[in-house]
Structure 1
Amino acid sequence: SVFVWSGFTSPDLYYVIFVAGIGRPRREYSTNCARSLSLTMSSYTPIGPPQPYNGTGKTGGDSAVDNLNVYFDPGDQAYIIVSSCMVLLMIPGLGFLYSGLARRKSALSMIWACMGSFSVIVFQWYFWGYSLAFSPSATNGFIGNLGSFGLKGVLGTPSPGSPLIPELLYSFYQLQFCATTAAIVVGAIAERGRLIPAMVFIFFWATLVYCPIACWAWNVNGWGYKYGILDYAGGGPVEIGSGLSALAYSMVLGKRQEKMMLNFRPHNVSLITLGTILLWFGWLGFNGGSAFGANLRAVMACWNSCLAAMFGSITWCLLDYRLARKWSMVGWCSGCISGLVAATPASGFIPPWAAVILGIVTGIISNFATKIKFWIRIDDSMDVFAEHGVAGMVGLIFNALFAADYIIGLDGVNGNGAINGGWLNHNYKQLYIQVAYIVACTGYAFVMSAIIAFIINYIPGLHLRASEEAELLGMDDDQLGEFAYDYVEVRRDYLAWTPAKDEPEKTESNVAAGDRHGIPEHSDMINGHSPERDSGNAHTGIQGDRHAQGIDGPKLNEKDLPITNGS
């Protein structure tokens, strides 16, 4: 059978003729056969289908005497390599998102935190993280062993996740998952957390929280895998794990201290939008690549991800418009992210019409879930719990209701009832299986993360929280000594609060010894004092300046001020 593809990249037509192998099945469900497809061009030798694996799994294969590439389809491998690189872009995307949501004086520290966590996870995953999550020789069902310590024996063996790709590629792909989850968690430190203790936390969190939950869900010996849970790309390890861990870290860290801080708006919506677009692009590799091959299930996962994201963003915008009578770009980004989060566990299981419902329901639930932090008095400034933890739970519940076996079989491996669907396939017990999995992930992630953070906080030199003065200066100045925009940004903010008009003029510097900013009165902000007289700054008290209160404006008590909302 022959088909022709043509592209109009020049005035001439270019034709590439693909000749499919005749009489060979694309994939047999009962074997490891990959598709038979040869590309015929003038100077290329036709390539046959991948050969059955020769069984040298203990050492990962011997590439000195054997061509390990013949056991896997090059197209599948290329797709997962590209997907891995796409997922990596989610980490700077999260950095830009958090930077835009934070105030200007802490904007750069959020980017550093995300990229710093990536450095930690690369080491942790190589050192023992992959082995603890996916070691095939572990049998306890809770966490793996050190059988693959330092990627020992991880080479050309068919991967634990799918026989379509080698284990070396699978371990690299899963590295991006763990790194992205860690970058989500560090949103909890916004504007008050020290960076180095947070990196120490991330190492132990990945070891004691992420790796066990990943083992439950995706290791063939994990209890969740054997129990029959449906979690396509990480509703438990990635979304619930990050959402509840960030909530626990925020609880241990405590609320921000500035008494006069209002429910501020994000300082840079353009950065938020850029971060969201990078996240969306990376998420297509996150969800699409979780089919572990260039197949129809990957395409379906990408379709469902886009549908859930778009309907989630529309729903969120409508809910915000109901209150403000104006459209919100931040609302669009928040709804888009919550829809993508919900699609993470569900996009490879549900049909497209269910993804539409998923986006709408998630947009509603996550929008209202952003209010939970006010009830429980935990300063989750980036709304990680609402947009990741809660949305991940919704996606897992949808698997119980709308998972379909014909969607699962689109990968060419899990057909013929290899994995049962949900209620659409009359598998009604799947609901309580999913609920049990959600409860286990929620409880374990929150409690274990809180314990890790609590212990680290009492180690000398590793206290999690910055000082009150450092919070006023901003994390950029205190932790980095650099700024996202320029080196006078913190002083510019301070001038809105400081009565500088009556300060004596000097021929030399007005900066007192030990006072970098020359503003002894900056401690008034901690006590909730507003300026009593004009500071002489042209920007003081102008309407719309979130750093300044009017000279004669009302003084607010702390009890009248809500916790700041980062979204």
Structure 2
Amino acid sequence: MASELPEYDPNEPWGGDSRGATDDVNAQYAGLGFHYVYLILCAFIVWLIIPGIGLLYGGLARRKSSLSLLFQSFMVTSVVTFQWMFWGYSLAYARDASPFIGTLANFGMMKVQAAPSPGSVLIPETVFCLYQLMFAFVTVQILIGGSFERGRIIPSLVFAFLWTTIVYCPVACWTWNANGWLYNLPSRDYAGAGPVHIASGCSALAYALVLGKRKTEVEQGHGKPHNTTLVFLGTVLIWFGWFGFNGGSTLNASVRGMYAAFNTNAAASCGAIGWVLVDYIRTKGRFSVVGMCEGVIAGLVGITPAAGYVSCWPAALIGFLTAVVCASLQDLNDWIRIDEGLYVFKLHGIGGIVGSFLTGIFADSAISALDGSTLAPGAWNGVGVQVARQLADIASISSYSFVVSCILLLILKYIPGMHLRVSEEAEMKGLDIDQFVDEQIGDWSFFNDR
């Protein structure tokens, strides 16, 4: 183990001269390699959420619109990667950020190399940057579900770039940058209920609102997934990816990170139990594979802000309660009269709100201190005001993301060539036939689609 922890030197923002005769930029991490190897492994695991969401969304859609969701899964990732390298990382994590937004100090990945990262001095900044990139494009991929079966692809990719810049980066700065106002409030958001789930869920709701209802929603009985097998496979990948999502958010290889991984599994498992229980009662003794998968995802969403703050039994309870709340909102789209067909708002928006609120109740400094330094008490430790802080977090992020997304989409809607929605004829035929060359549209019968 290195005798001293690395320190950021503003005179050496690159972390040293890798070409110098005397500098060895790796020497400062001597004995600490297991921390950044662990984090880079977590980043690779998180990447599996990308095909997971693609398969989940593709399975939930009609067969003739599923290819467009698979396509967007990778294209959104590509667009957000470019945005992150261009200015996204700097707007979220610049060291000289204001309480609300970062500067362009790291524009074009400038100075992002071997120096200790702003998130943890135990890892190089380039590793931190890559890990946080995974969060950014998973968030935008979740959000794109709001365009379900009627959104044009090119405007959605333009929206992805702009949304990451105007919504995600500021919210990430508020929450995780050491200068952010929610970070210093402090709110407790271990792995992203606010920036990832509440922001994407509320913005997906805005997307569905601006697009309007599907023309064939009533006539053709939309709502049933065409391929339950794909839904199941997608959920498996998402569940696995979430071990890296939550397990790495401590930004070190401490016991706290391992405990967060355990909590992740506990919450997902109990989320499945909670949703299946509600389905069983609602349908008078029947089960649903899709419902079980939705319960897993609800549990994962609920535990995201809490994984590194709560002990295992509260983690299980958070997963269970989040799933029960989300499953009980079966008719939410009818109540609010918005056709949000993939239930992004219900699962991620509402699920993130429930998880964030319960984090304020169950946060336990004995768990956060497992990394050796973090004390984050909640009402569980007698700090009841933490619940109010969580409510401030929820209110600010949900309102900002919804309103700004609506404004951004309305601006795009009236730009020539950027109309957001496909024609009624294209919607009837399916997005795959309308927006892809014929030879790419294959036969999915192998998967026994309905």
Shorter chain as denominator, the TM-score bin is over 0.9
Deviations 1:368-406 (A, max 9, x none): 234221111111110000110111111111221111111
Contact 2:432 2:441 in 1 (8 A): no
Distance 1:488 1:162, change over 3 A: closer
Deviations 1:353-377 (A, max 9, x none): 1011111111111112342211111
After superposition, residues 229-308 of structure 1 pair within 5 angstroms as 229-258=187-216, 259-308=218-267
Say which of 364, 367, 384 aligns to 1:428. Answer: 384
Distance 1:482 1:284, change over 3 A: farther
User: Scaled by the length of structure 2, what TM-score is found?
Assistant: 0.94
Say which of 412, 424, 432 aligns to 1:456. Answer: 412
1: CA distance between counterparts of 2:51 and 2:235? 10
Q: CA deviation at 1:54?
A: 6.9
Say which of 307, 322, 332 aligns to 1:362. Answer: 322
Distance 1:488 1:307, change over 3 A: closer
After superposition, residues 323-472 of structure 1 pair within 5 angstroms as 323-324=282-283, 325-414=285-374, 419-472=375-428
2:274 aligns with: 315
2: CA distance between counterparts of 1:149 and 1:180? 22
Contact 1:137 1:144 in 2 (8 A): yes
Code of the aligned partner of 1:403:
A
Answer yes or no: is 1:61 the counterpart of 2:45: no
Contact 1:253 1:464 in 2 (8 A): yes
Deviations 1:195-230 (A, max 9, x none): 000000000000000000000001111111111111
1:71 aligns with: 28
Please give the secondary structure, in 2, of the residue aligned with 1:396: helix
Q: CA deviation at 1:59?
A: 3.3
Contact 1:420 1:427 in 2 (8 A): no
Code of the aligned partner of 1:344:
T
After superposition, residues 3-82 of structure 1 pair within 5 angstroms as 36=1, 52-53=6-7, 55=9, 56-65=11-20, 66-72=23-29, 73-82=32-41
2: CA distance between counterparts of 1:120 and 1:92? 16
Code of the aligned partner of 2:417:
G
Identity of aligned residues (%): 46
2: CA distance between counterparts of 1:54 and 1:235? 29
- Bigger-Rg structure (1/2): 1
| Greater relative contact order structure (CA < 8 Å, 6+ sep) | 2
Please give the secondary structure, in 1, of the residue aligned with 2:115: coil
1: CA distance between counterparts of 2:263 and 2:152? 38
Code of the aligned partner of 2:364:
A
Distance 1:341 1:484, change over 3 A: farther
Distance 1:485 1:317, change over 3 A: farther
RMSD: 1.7
Question: Which is further off, 51-60 or 403-412?
Answer: 51-60
Deviations 1:291-346 (A, max 9, x none): 11111111111111111101011110111122222211101100000100111111
1: CA distance between counterparts of 2:158 and 2:89? 18
2: CA distance between counterparts of 1:326 and 1:484? 38
2: CA distance between counterparts of 1:420 and 1:286? 20
User: Scaled by the length of structure 1, what TM-score is found?
Assistant: 0.75
The structure in which a higher percent of residues are helix is: 2
Distance 1:309 1:122, change over 3 A: same
Distance 1:250 1:264, change over 3 A: closer
2: CA distance between counterparts of 1:136 and 1:264? 46
Q: CA deviation at 1:412?
A: 2.1
Q: Which runs of 5+ in 1 are unaligned?
A: 1-35, 37-47, 490-544, 547-567
Distance 1:60 1:150, change over 3 A: farther
After superposition, residues 98-177 of structure 1 pair within 5 angstroms as 98-139=57-98, 141-177=99-135
Contact 1:370 1:383 in 2 (8 A): no
